[in-house]
């Protein structure tokens, strides 16, 4: 902050107030102006929800309601409007204003003015937690060589006479090849690595996928897919990591990489989906849903985008939406080993009380070779238990414990669901059948 003058900060505010997204939002404009003026006056550290409620909205506890609730709601709206501004008309603004989740104090940062300012050679030190990349580059390079062997042969340049009849994927790859052979290699590798992200409840898998996306960034630092994929893997690692400095580092790195993906390709569904998942890792479920829905509108046929949106909807408690997204017929025709839609549908139906549908969906997933994880089986066990099928439930529980011994299912579910009661609904059924949590504690609702 010290390197940015007050004049530059005021200019950043003025650019935001001129944005059409803030037209007609007098309260949000007042909110934004207030926190900037407080910061410039040296009182930024004292900005609180209570002070905003009193000074901007003229509200206090005497009104009989929580005066800070409206502040929290407006802060979320402002963060979303800031994103829209910097992804659109403000993408070339020299100074950016940020309002970090969990507080209201404005933060100013100098924006990257050109892609050349992103140094891929320093990417690991700048963005990635060291523990995730002890030998990530080596693993990524070796796995890259292995994966590329499975890629369909590429016709580098279809002849002009055959261009219109060539398959779309050939046209796409031929266009990328014109940029450079390494760009094509990065594109192919990123799409193969993307197919490996699910199931998300698999830490070694996420570390491996992360190393592959690091290799993609090394091959083509201008390709948004490398940053988007790495952001999703890092965000998943943040979700899977207990509260700690490592968890915070994963979440921060995920958001920084997602922002880079959006900077490079704001109109790509994968970029928006990556940022949605980064918000999810930070437990900002509202922002995650907003960007996830935007991504699905940008490309309604992208199964990976739909899966991440379905997962966000599921864990946000939007169960009907999760079912609608997951059950789109186009993804239910046959085996789709890269997608998790049946798992999402099964879990959402459990929370809607349709236990038979839950079992049906997870059985379909198993038969068709979809990604499975410990929580997948846990939901099946819980559904059987809820239906009174204790014998079947115990048999499946034994299968779960053989496949994933000591899996901390309770912690996995509590770390992802916005409402702990939704996680406990599953865990309580397991406990009733005799399951013992490796964490040594039972559901909080017991």
Higher local confidence (pLDDT), 25 or 62: 25
Flag whether pLDDT at 278 surpasses 90. Answer: yes
* Residue whose pair of structure tokens reads 């992360």 in the numeric block: 210
CA distances (Å), 70 to each of 28, 59, 173, in order? 11, 10, 49
CA–CA dist 78, 274 (Å, integer): 20
CA–CA dist 100, 382 (Å, integer): 38
| pTM, to two decimals | 0.66
Mean pLDDT of 64-83: 79
Chain mean position to CA 251: 10
Give burial (CB, 10 Å; 0-12/13-18/19+) of 337: exposed
pLDDT tens digit string along 242-271?
888 889 999 999 999 999 999 999 999 999
Specify whether the CB–CB gap between 53 and 70 falls below 8 A.
Answer: yes
Higher local confidence (pLDDT), 33 or 340: 33
pLDDT band, very low/low/confident/very high, at 168 (cuts 50, 70, 90): low
pLDDT tens digit string along 74-101?
888 888 888 888 888 888 899 999 998 8
pLDDT band, very low/low/confident/very high, at 61 (cuts 50, 70, 90): low
**Least confident range of 140-154, 313-327, 397-411:** 140-154
* Residue whose pair of structure tokens reads 């060539």 in the numeric block: 166
pLDDT band, very low/low/confident/very high, at 441 (cuts 50, 70, 90): low
Chain mean position to CA 311: 9
**Least confident range of 71-75, 188-192, 194-198, 364-368:** 364-368
Specify whether the CB–CB gap between 246 and 129 falls below 8 A.
Answer: yes
pLDDT band, very low/low/confident/very high, at 319 (cuts 50, 70, 90): very high
**Least confident range of 41-45, 115-119, 168-172, 193-197:** 115-119
Flag whether pLDDT at 272 surpasses 70. Answer: yes
pLDDT for residue 288:
94
pLDDT for residue 338:
56
Specify whether the CB–CB gap between 204 and 170 falls below 8 A.
Answer: no
pLDDT band, very low/low/confident/very high, at 170 (cuts 50, 70, 90): low
Rounded to the nearest integer, the mean pLDDT of the chain is 82
Flag whether pLDDT at 154 surpasses 50. Answer: no
CA–CA dist 174, 162 (Å, integer): 13
pLDDT for residue 235:
96
CA–CA dist 429, 426 (Å, integer): 6
CA–CA dist 131, 112 (Å, integer): 27
3-state secondary structure of 94: coil
Question: What angle, 0 to 180 degrees and rounded to 10, lies between the N-to-C axes of helices 374-386 and 341-351?
Answer: 40
pLDDT for residue 177:
75
Of 417, 227, 439, 444, the closest CA to residue 311 belongs to 417
pLDDT band, very low/low/confident/very high, at 161 (cuts 50, 70, 90): very low
The strand pairing partners of 109, in sequence order, are 96
pLDDT for residue 445:
42
* Residue whose pair of structure tokens reads 């990257």 in the numeric block: 112
Q: What share of the chain is helix, strand, coil (3-state, %, to 5)?
A: 65, 0, 30
């Amino acid at each position: 902050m010290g390197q940015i003058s007050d004049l530059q900060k005021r200019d950043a505010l003025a650019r935001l107030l001129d944005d059409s997204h803030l037209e007609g939002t007098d309260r949000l404009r007042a909110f934004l102006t207030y926190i900037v003026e407080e910061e410039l006056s040296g009182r930024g550290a004292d900005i609180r929800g209570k002070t905003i409620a009193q000074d901007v909205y003229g509200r206090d506890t005497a009104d009989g309601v929580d005066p800070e609730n409206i502040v929290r709601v407006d802060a979320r709206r402002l963060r979303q409007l800031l994103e829209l501004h910097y992804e659109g008309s403000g993408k070339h603004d020299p100074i950016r204003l940020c309002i970090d989740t969990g507080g209201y104090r404005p933060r100013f940062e100098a924006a990257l003015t050109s892609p050349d300012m992103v140094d891929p050679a320093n990417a690991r030190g700048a963005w990635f937690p060291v523990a995730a990349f002890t030998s990530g580059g080596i693993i990524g390079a070796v796995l890259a060589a292995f994966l590329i062997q499975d890629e369909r042969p590429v016709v580098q340049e279809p002849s002009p006479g055959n261009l219109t009849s060539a398959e779309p994927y050939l046209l796409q790859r031929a266009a990328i090849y014109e940029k450079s052979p390494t760009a094509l290699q990065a594109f192919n590798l990123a799409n193969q690595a993307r197919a490996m992200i699910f199931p998300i409840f698999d830490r070694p898998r996420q570390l491996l996928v992360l190393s592959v996306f690091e290799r993609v960034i090394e091959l083509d630092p201008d390709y948004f897919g490398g940053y988007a994929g790495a952001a999703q893997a890092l965000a998943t690692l943040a979700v899977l990591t207990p509260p700690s400095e490592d968890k915070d580092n994963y979440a921060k790195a995920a958001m920084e990489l997602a922002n880079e993906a959006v900077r490079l390709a704001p109109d790509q569904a994968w970029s928006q989906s990556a940022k949605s998942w980064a918000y999810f890792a930070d437990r900002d479920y509202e922002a995650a849903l907003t960007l996830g829905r935007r991504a699905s509108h940008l490309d309604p046929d992208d199964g990976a985008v739909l899966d991440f949106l379905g997962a966000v909807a599921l864990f946000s408690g939007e169960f009907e939406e999760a079912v609608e997204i997951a059950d789109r017929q186009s993804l239910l025709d046959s085996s789709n080993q890269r997608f998790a839609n049946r798992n999402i549908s099964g879990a959402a139906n459990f929370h809607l009380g349709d236990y038979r549908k839950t079992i049906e969906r997870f059985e379909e997933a198993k038969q068709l070779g979809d990604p499975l994880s410990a929580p997948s089986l846990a939901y099946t066990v819980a559904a059987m238990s809820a239906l009174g099928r204790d014998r079947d439930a115990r048999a499946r529980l034994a299968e779960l414990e053989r496949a994933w011994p000591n899996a901390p299912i309770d912690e996995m579910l509590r770390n992802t669901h916005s409402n702990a009661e939704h996680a406990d609904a599953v865990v309580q059924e397991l406990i009733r059948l005799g399951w013992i949590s490796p964490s040594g504690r039972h559901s909080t609702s017991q």
